[in-house]
Amino acid sequence: MPDTQLTPPLSWSMYSLRKSWNGAKQEVAPWWAENSKEAYACGLDRLATALTNWSESRKGMRKGPKVGFPRFRSKRRKAMSVRFTTGVIRLDGRTHVVLPVLGRIKTHESTRKLARRVEAGTAKIRSATVRLEAGRWLVSFSVQVERAEATPTRPDAVVGVDLGVKTLAVYSDGRPPTANPRHLAVASRKLRRLSRAVSRKQGPDRRSGQQPSGRWRKADASRNQVHHRAAALRRDAIHKLTTTLAGEYGTIVVEDLHIAGMVKNRRLARAISDAGFGEIRRQLAYKTEWNGGRLVVAGRWFASSKTCSGCGAVKAKLALSERAFACAACGLVLDRDVNAALNLASLVKHTVAGSGPETINGRGADRKTPPAGAGGCETSTPHRAPPRSDGDLRPAMSGTLELSER
């Protein structure tokens, strides 16, 4: 096709998309003035971000799994939300908020905690996001807060935290373990009953254009409320756990768990998702920074459960059903989760102070093995190792402990 018949090229930046929208909104959407301009700006910003992520993923510039081309987002299947960044965004008293176009709205919960910070000048509201969740309209504020320098209660204490399904968290210092509340499993019986009630009613069918009945909507809302409550209880329990740990210990050591691979086990996927391992690590990362501590993340291939915390011997195999660790070398017998937590805590003393994630070598020397070619110094002719993908000329050593501080 000639260039004159092709669609003119358009930049994917937020500025270009908004400029194109402003030029066409009178023709394609004459009703645009009835809503806040932030509703359109929010959608354009998300579109620009999605296109950028797809482009960088295709070029190999973005870490993580491949990102596909943005698809149409239906308001019937996705949660509706809008972000306000300009206009009047403030708190009105302790029970009302003021938002652009929407005006003054009463809140179900009191806003006194945020209002006190705003009045004291230690917090400034930057934006507000309104979303529909479980049949309720929620508003969340993005706030710039001035935080005072904090120090953990025990700044020199080190604790290893081993996360699991049977017990949510086991600690290396003898602290009582945290039981797994299993919020979704507790609500499963009620969810089965409500799901049966939903299936027996006339639901929506997009192929035939059938609209859901009023009873189906009511039954579906009841089921969604149970899911929402289970998620809220899980989030509250994780916040309490991570806040307690970050406020007490100066150094916390956790594992780099491969959650995406763990949930592929169809027998454990629901229990692993219900525990929230990824959310625990995410909250510990920023809460330790807030409280003046540090989070050390052990390498993904570190055998914390198979290694003896007494002598350091590593077992070849350790079945998941074996809840007690028995060392054949030194005869140590203890709970496998406690053994893993002790191994995680011992990683901190292997870290060279002030030099980042450096570890002692296999012989116990307090330094790293110097860079060398294949075969080391025992070969007659020195060889130069091929460069790695990251440009480093050092050979990629296998079996080392990978630590990262956050």
List 38, 220, 255, 274, catalytic entry: 255
The answer to whether residue 92 is catalytic is no
Residue 230: which of 180, 186, 282 has the closest Cα? 186
The answer to whether residue 255 is catalytic is yes
CA–CA distance, 130 with 308 (Å, rounded to integer) = 51
Contacts of residue 17, Cβ cutoff 8 Å, sequence gap at least 6: 10, 11, 44, 47, 48
- The answer to whether the CB of 137 falls within 8 A of the CB of 105 is no
Helix axes 277-290, 214-248, angle to 10 degrees: 40
Phi-psi region of 85 (alpha: psi -120 to 50; beta: other; left: phi over 0): alpha
- The answer to whether the CB of 167 falls within 8 A of the CB of 180 is yes
Helix (H/G/I), strand (E/B), else coil: 243? helix
| Number of Cβ within a 10 Å radius of residue 90 | 14
Total count of residues recorded for the chain? 406
Residue 296: which of 237, 248, 344 has the closest Cα? 344
List 38, 162, 220, 274, catalytic entry: 162
Measured in degrees and rounded to the nearest 5, phi and psi for residue 156 equal -95, 0
Give the DSSP per-residue string, 253-300.
Answer: EEE---HHHHTTSTTTHHHHHHHTHHHHHHHHHHHHHHTT-EEEEE-T
CA–CA distance, 234 with 271 (Å, rounded to integer) = 12
Buried b (16+ CB within 10 A) or exposed e, 296-333: bbbbeebebbbbbbeeeeebeebeeeeeebebeeeeee
The answer to whether residue 162 is catalytic is yes
List 337, 358, 390, 405, catalytic entry: 337
CA–CA distance, 404 with 298 (Å, rounded to integer) = 7
Helix (H/G/I), strand (E/B), else coil: 307? strand
CA–CA distance, 52 with 70 (Å, rounded to integer) = 10
CA–CA distance, 125 with 353 (Å, rounded to integer) = 39
Number of continuous H segments (helices) and E segments (strands) in the chain: 9, 14
Catalytic positions, please? 162, 255, 337
